[in-house]
Chains A and B, each alone.
Chain A
């Protein structure tokens, strides 16, 4: 039972962490390696909320706004000139990640710090065991996040325009869609979501200036195997996240940490379209 919950909550956490990266990759066809930096920004936003003495519930909203604002600035200054050079965009955003990490180090110091969790209790399971309520809460958050994104993409005019840009940017532009604006909005939203996810994962562990990097690589691989679909991302998170939990439990934690990257690399080798329908 608790293994099953581990798989479910791990998948939910991965999904929250990946959603912003997937959105940016889908619309802009670039990999945002500053994603790890934005996760860190979110973590420190949560820390700020704790320092200011506000209720931890403020952390996600606060993190989202700060992340989105950073995203806006970065899209204008760095990402926009690199639309036609996707491999260079990976490098430039990785450089941005370094900058974010160093600025945070200068502002907050490099030591590990802790953030208050909004929910601290544990839920009693039927078998007598108990399970962290916060982790369970994250499942609900991930589902809500997925549904909201789907609703925005399927139900609003912005979503329609965004989907048009995903499918055929040149045609969309020819039809009078301001694809630059769509990219701008997407990148800001992606950064905001990453930051939000960063604030969600901090109560589980701790914050430090490089906390985003390990997440980045896993998120990157999950997005690679998902194509550009939110549904296949969910499948990938459950399958590969589940594999990670099982390997960590029955094998060893170090191998578990490798599960997602190695499996994803082989999945892509054997089936280049990954988990999305060919």
Chain B
């Protein structure tokens, strides 16, 4: 599809140096943190050293909550359950079997393994295709309740409500535990920092911003969430295991729902989606709680409650952004890092869908497609086929079923009956991300983009299917197919690649979405009123691009459009829908001349027996 000569666009942002300085900053921060942790046990009072060990481990769990909730938008009450599973793995093993290095290793593997299994089950339950975010939260709420009840009912085996204590554990000094827990937290925070800023980490934000768009660029959102859940569960279980090792006590509360919400409070107060905020929030709040709850038992908890409500209502980003902004103002520093990854675009090598190229089959076949909502039939037996290189316009009055038909082509779960084949693949009941794999690209009626991602980031998300993004770094180049580059250049998006989508104009958002869909290298392109709300010159330009895509790149384009003049200019064929039926399928001339179309549009055909 694209010519192999790499033509690199000039990048408006300086590239490599900034990236290296990012790593350097991380290195400096980590080194300072490690030094502080190294000298901590020598200068801090014993009570505080103890408290901090616990807080380090809690902070590790809070970090996973931040990745799940702050970055990915999964409000989870359940991370405490995994912490508890890890803790009980140690507690049960050391109480009932005894302590040895071998048993300790087995307990760790078992704890992490069980936590991952449970997380997989929870993920399967909570994140099925089409699940509401509220349902996901419900399941994470049920989990800790179930785990604590199981622990309660375990009798002497789990120690019931009083838990297990007094078991033999690692022969490690308090200082060493402080270093282990602190080092674990620093390593984890650094890894998480690299991950969320990497190309793969941006997918999490994309999911938070717009799950639907993610599915329609071919990302299996459910799977991403489940994998993330499993990894976060493993981390929480390790923290819990270490907790049991150092405290030599485990109790059902550590797996409970209240601890789960406490984690959310720490994350919210520290600042969700900042990583460092939740860590500091946890350390400060947990340590101060252990000091203050003695003096002001109920008032302190009341203060935390009030602060939590105030932050959620008035400062949803938490206290960290507030602190850093104030610090910057005080020291007169400019905003430290631009949010954009410096990126240069280049031509991608053509990546045709395996087995679809060159056989000359039908691009799109729609047979007897029906759709009804209850007793209301929206589509009734739609039949048509389309080949590559065709620009097929769907016209019809409002409510004719045009958008519904688009939906039925791009998502196997939408239609009530009939068959849809993309490049000879029956889409069956397959979800949108699988249909993308068959070659469908869908652009929505209203611009459907990722509001807080930059243009370059959004385009990279659209390339996830083609190029597996790195889990720890950002790529400086972004290969895109020629058609996508053409849209980017023609609309001037290349001058705004570091701009977040929410700051783009309406027309630019439309262009961005089109460029993203084209970045998928689709062979069947579905466009729902791509020119709605655009100016005349913008429409003409988009029209030119579409004609070029159909003729030069041999795409099969299905276009929903109200503007009949626009349709006449660019279409190679027109289909007329009326009250859920296909009433005409012909050339532009045939449709324009048609008496039927004129009656439909003048409204005379409404109410006629159909």
Mark A residues whose CB is within 8 Å of B: 31, 78, 81-82, 85-88, 90-92, 94-96, 98-99, 102-103, 105-106, 110, 213, 217, 220-221, 224, 252, 254-255, 257-258, 261-262, 264-266, 268-269, 272
Contact = CB atoms under 8 A, between A and B. Distances in A.
A102 B149 contact: no
Contact of A268 (B130, B135, B153, B313): B135
Given A86-B134, A252-B153, A102 B145 contact: no
Nearest to B312: A92
Interface stretch (B296-304, B451-459, B503-511): B296-304
27 contacts: A31-B134, A81-B314, A82-B313, A86-B134, A91-B75, A91-B268, A92-B312, A95-B308, A95-B312, A96-B309, A98-B301, A98-B308, A102-B298, A102-B302, A102-B305, A106-B299, A106-B302, A217-B141, A221-B138, A254-B152, A257-B149, A258-B146, A265-B138, A268-B135, A269-B125, A269-B128, A272-B130
B27 interface: no
Contacts of A262: 142, 146
A92 B313 contact: yes
A90 B153 contact: no
A78 B311 CA distance: 11
Given A87-B75, A252-B153, A258-B145, A78 B316 contact: no
B26 interface: no
B312 A261 contact: no
B302 A99 contact: yes
Contacts of A221: 138, 142
Interface in B126-172: 128, 130-135, 137-139, 141-142, 145-146, 149, 152-153
Nearest to A91: B312
B298 A106 contact: yes
Contacts of B141: 217, 220
Closest 8 A/B residue pairs (Cβ): A98-B305, A102-B302, A95-B309, A95-B308, A92-B312, A99-B305, A254-B153, A261-B142
A272 B135 contact: yes
B266 interface: no
Contacts of A258: 145-146, 149
A224 B133 CA distance: 13
Contacts of B309: 78, 92, 95-96, 99
Contact of B304 (A98, A217, A264): A98
A90 B75 contact: yes
Contact of B137 (A90, A264, A266): A90
A221 B145 CA distance: 12
Interface stretch (B213-221, B226-234, B257-265): B257-265
Interface in B273-332: 298-299, 301-302, 304-306, 308-309, 312-314, 316
Q: DSSP majority for the B interface? A: helix
Contacts of A110: 298
Interface string B519-534: 0000000000000000
B122 to A, nearest CB: 10
A87 B128 CA distance: 19
Most chain-A Cβ atoms within 10 A of its Cβ — which of B135, B149, B304, B312? Answer: B312
Most chain-A Cβ atoms within 10 A of its Cβ — which of B128, B146, B302? Answer: B302
A264 B312 CA distance: 28
B86 to A, nearest CB: 22
B149 A78 contact: no
Contacts of B153: 252, 254-255
Nearest to A87: B75
A224 B134 CA distance: 9
Given A78-B313, A254-B152, A220 B138 contact: yes
A224 B130 CA distance: 16
Nearest to A218: B145
A258 B143 CA distance: 10
Interface string B56-79: 000000000000000001010000
A87 B76 CA distance: 10
Most chain-A Cβ atoms within 10 A of its Cβ — which of B73, B134, B146, B257? Answer: B134
A221 B298 CA distance: 30
Given A95-B305, A262-B142, 5 more contacts: A78-B313, A105-B298, A106-B299, A106-B302, A257-B149
A131 B261 CA distance: 39
B264 A91 contact: yes
A92 B135 CA distance: 18
Contacts of B312: 82, 88, 91-92, 95
Contacts of A98: 301-302, 304-305, 308
Contacts of B134: 31, 86-87, 224
A260 to B, nearest CB: 10
A92 B268 CA distance: 10
A252 B298 CA distance: 35
B302 to A, nearest CB: 4
Nearest to A269: B125
B121 to A, nearest CB: 11
Contacts of B299: 102, 106
Nearest to B309: A95
Given A102-B301, A105-B298, A258-B145, A85 B316 contact: yes
Nearest to A110: B298
